[in-house]
Chain A
Amino acid sequence: MEGARVERQPLVEMRSVYKAFGGVHALEDVTVDLYAGEVVGLVGHNGAGKSTLIKILSGVYGADSGRIFIDGQEVTIRNPRDARGHGIETIYQNLALADNLDAPANIFLGREIMRGISLNEDAMEAESRKVLNRLRISVPSLRESVLNLSGGQRQAVAIGRAIYFNARILIMDEPTAALGPQEARQVGELIKQLKGQGLGIFLISHDIHDVFDHADRISVLKTGRLVGTVRTAEVTKDDVLTMIIAGTLPGKTQGNAAVAGG
C-alpha cells in the first residue's frame, strides 16, 4: 500500500459494536476499521454478523452500543440518509435496484434532479451516462428498465449510484455472487479503480478466492464476535478458513484492534 501510513487515521472505525435481536446476539464487541484506498474483506459463516455490521454502518439498523468514527470524528447514524450524508454508500447483495425503472431512475432514486416540481429526466440521463462512462461500462440504451440489463451492467448501475454521490466509503455485499466469470472480472476492475480514487471499501463475500483477489485486509467474524483482522499478504487461504471455521488465529495476525504499521 502507499507509504506514510503510520500517522494516518482510519476512514471509518466501528468500535465495540453490540447488537442483539431479541435474545440473539448478532454482534458482540466487534471492532473493525477501514483506511482510504484500501479494501477490507468481511468474512464468516452465515449468521456470523457481517450483514448486521454493515447495516449498522449504513443506517438500516441502530447498534445497541458501540461507537462509529469517520475521519477520527465520532458520528451518529440513525437512518440511511444519515449514512449517505457521511459519504457511506451501500451496494446490496440483490443490488437494491427497482427492476421496473430505468438506469437513471435507479441511480438517482431518492435524490432526483428536479426542474421545479418535475423530474428532470434528461439531466439525469446525461449525468448517468457520464458516471457509467467513468466506470467504463457501456449501456446502449439508458431508457430501458434495468431488468433487461446483464448482471455486470446492473452491478455498474448500483456502483454508479454510489459513486455519483461522492461516496467515500463503499460497502459491497456479495458483489459477484450472481455474476459469471467475465463479469466478476469487470467488477474486480471497478474495485481497483475505486481504490485508486481513494475510496475505502468494505467487501463482504462468501468466496474466499474473491476476497483474496481484492482485499488488502480481512476481518473474520464468527457467531457475532471478531476472530481477528489479518493482512491478506501475510496469510494463506487456509489460515483464513481456520479462522472462519474454528475461530482461532493463525500465528501472524494484528489482533483485535487494527493498528497502522506491519
Chain B
Amino acid sequence: MSVETTAPRQTPAEAPPPARFGRVNVFQRFAAWAGFDTRLMGMVAALAVIWVGFHLQTGLFLTPRNLWNLMVQSSVVGVMVGGMVLVIVARQIDLSVGSVLGFVGMVMAFMQVQVFPLEVWWNPLATILIGLSLGALIGAFHGYVVAYLEVPSFIVTLGSLLAFRGGAWLVTSGRTMAPLDTTYQIFGGGINGSIGATWSWVGGLAAIVILVWYFVSSRARRRKYGFTVRPLWGEFLVIAINVGFVAGFVQLMNSYPFPGTTVPRGLPVPVLMMLGLGILMSTVLRSTRFWRYVFAIGGNPEAARFSGIPTRRITLIVFVIMGVLAAIAGIIATARLNAGTNSAGELAELSVIAAAVIGGTSLSGGVGSIPGAMIGAVLMESLRNGMVLMDLPSALQNVVQGAVLVLAVWLDVVYQRYRRR
C-alpha cells in the first residue's frame, strides 16, 4: 500500500475505487460488489452443508416440522445473542445470562401462578413487565459494578451465575410453578404460539417492502454524494436474492400444519421475537451513535475517552440491554415449558457466547456481527437437533459441539490472517 501526497489528478469522489482485489477470489469479488458480507455468506454456506448433511444421514432433517421446531429451539439463545455481541464488542463478558434467565423466569412464573390470579387478561402483561424490569435492574447492577466500581465483568457475572442460579431455587424452594396462563404460553411457540399463514405473509411482505425501500434509498443516497453504484441489473439481482430468502423462509414456516389438519401454523411467536430483535439491532439501532460508541470503546477505550465519549454510561447501558434480553429469553423458556423451573437456562450462556463467537465476534473486542451471531445460534442448534435425530448420546453431542466451536473460531483466525496478507 503506497501513500501519495501529490495532488490527485481527479477528485477522488469521481474516480471509481481502485481494484484492490489482489489476492481475492471470484466469490469475494461478487460478495463485495453485491454488498454481502463474505463471512456471513460463508456461514450460510456452512449451515446449508450441515442441513443437507444431516438430511442425507437421517432423512428427517429437512422437513417443515423439524425446521419449524429447530427455529423455535433456536430462539431462546437467539434473542440473547444480539446483546452478547454488544457486551463482547465492548470488551466485556456476561457469564450470568443463563442464571438470570432462570431466576427471572422463576420470579415471573411465581408471580403468575401464586400472586396474580390466573387467566385474567392482565396477568401475562403484568408478569412480563415485572420480568423485563427485573432483567433491566440486574443488568444495571452488573453495568454499575463493572463500569463504575471497575470490577472485571468476568468476575461480576461469574458471581451472578452462581448467585442467581441459587436465587432461582430460593424463589419457591425448588418447587416447579405450573401450569402457566394460557395466553402467556403463546410466547413459547407450540400449539397456540404461532401467528398463522396470513399474518406470516403480512410480516413477510412488510419485510420485503422494507428491504426494497432500503436498497432503493441507499442507492439514491449514494448517487447524491457521487459514490459509485451497482448497475441496475445488479441492483435487481441483489434485491431478488434477499427477497427470495424472505419469501422462502415464510413459505417454510407456513408448511408445517397443525396436527390432523392442513391449516398452516405460520411463524412461531418466539421466532418472530428473535427475528424482530435481530432486525431491529441490525438496522435501526446499528446506525445510532450509541452503537458506534460501543464499537469505539471496544476498539480503543482510551481514544473513545479522549473523544469525549461517556464510556462508563455506555458500558452500563450495554449490560442493561443484556439483562432485558435475558429476561425475554426467560419468557420464551418458561412459556415453552409451560412451567417455571429453577434449572431453566442452565449453561445457556455458553451457547450464547459460542453463537456470538462463531458469528464473527472477536473476544478481544471491537469486532462483532449480529446477523452472524444469529446464524451462529441456528447453526449450533442445528447441530444439536441433527445429532438428536441421529440418536447420538447427549455426552457425545457435547463433545461434538465443543469441537465445532473450536474449529469454527480457528477457521476464523485463519481467514482473518489470510485477508490481511
Contact surface of A with B, Cβ cutoff 8 Å: 60, 79-81, 84, 90, 92, 94, 96-101, 105-106, 109-112, 114, 117-119, 121-123, 125-126, 129, 133, 136-138, 140-141, 148-150, 152-153, 182-183, 186, 189
- The reply on B235 being an interface residue by CB < 8 A is no
CA gap between A136 and B7 in the complex, in Å:
6
- The reply on B149 being an interface residue by CB < 8 A is no
CB contacts (< 8 Å) of B366 on chain A: these are 98-100
CB contacts (< 8 Å) of A138 on chain B: these are 3-5, 8, 12
B interface residue count range (under 10 / 10 to 19 / 20 to 34 / 35 or more): 35 or more
CB contacts (< 8 Å) of A105 on chain B: these are 292, 296
CA gap between A140 and B21 in the complex, in Å:
13
**Min CB gap B163→A, angstroms:** 33
A110-B309, A122-B227, A129-B13 known; A140-B298 Cβ under 8 A: no
A137 touches B3 (CB 8 A): yes
CA gap between A149 and B295 in the complex, in Å:
19
A133 touches B12 (CB 8 A): yes
- The reply on B225 being an interface residue by CB < 8 A is yes
**Min CB gap B293→A, angstroms:** 8
Besides A100-B367, A109-B296, 8 more A-B contacts (Cβ < 8 Å) are A98-B303, A105-B292, A122-B224, A125-B225, A137-B4, A137-B5, A138-B3, A138-B12
Could you give 20 example pairs across A and B, Cβ below 8 Å? A96-B307, A97-B303, A99-B366, A101-B295, A110-B309, A112-B289, A118-B284, A119-B287, A121-B287, A126-B226, A136-B5, A136-B7, A138-B4, A138-B8, A140-B17, A148-B420, A150-B1, A152-B3, A153-B1, A189-B5
Interface centre among A100, A122, A125 (most CB of B within 10 A): A100
- The reply on B308 being an interface residue by CB < 8 A is yes
B299 touches A136 (CB 8 A): no
**Min CB gap B263→A, angstroms:** 41
Interface string of B1-24 (1 = CB under 8 A from A): 111111110011100011010000
A118-B288, A119-B288, A121-B287 known; A96-B5 Cβ under 8 A: no
A129 touches B5 (CB 8 A): no
CA gap between A140 and B10 in the complex, in Å:
12
A126 touches B288 (CB 8 A): no
A122 touches B13 (CB 8 A): no
Partner of A149 from the list B1, B225, B300 (CB cut-off 8 Å) is B1
A140 touches B18 (CB 8 A): yes
B307 touches A80 (CB 8 A): yes
CB contacts (< 8 Å) of B230 on chain A: these are none
CA gap between A148 and B2 in the complex, in Å:
12
CB contacts (< 8 Å) of B420 on chain A: these are 148
Partner of A100 from the list B3, B226, B295 (CB cut-off 8 Å) is B295
A126-B13, A186-B3 known; A98-B221 Cβ under 8 A: no
CB contacts (< 8 Å) of B224 on chain A: these are 122
- The reply on B306 being an interface residue by CB < 8 A is yes
| CB under 8 Å from chain A, chain B span 1-57 | 1-8, 11-13, 17-18, 20
Partner of A84 from the list B17, B287, B308 (CB cut-off 8 Å) is B308
| In the complex, residue of chain B having the shortest beta-carbon distance to the beta carbon of A152 | B3
B367 touches A109 (CB 8 A): no
CB contacts (< 8 Å) of A121 on chain B: these are 287
B295 touches A141 (CB 8 A): no
Partner of B296 from the list A94, A98, A125, A150 (CB cut-off 8 Å) is A98
A80-B308, A84-B308 known; A100-B299 Cβ under 8 A: yes
CB contacts (< 8 Å) of B1 on chain A: these are 148-150, 153
**Min CB gap B223→A, angstroms:** 10
A114 touches B5 (CB 8 A): no
CA gap between A60 and B308 in the complex, in Å:
10
**Min CB gap A152→B, angstroms:** 4
CB contacts (< 8 Å) of B367 on chain A: these are 100
A60 touches B292 (CB 8 A): no
CA gap between A101 and B18 in the complex, in Å:
21
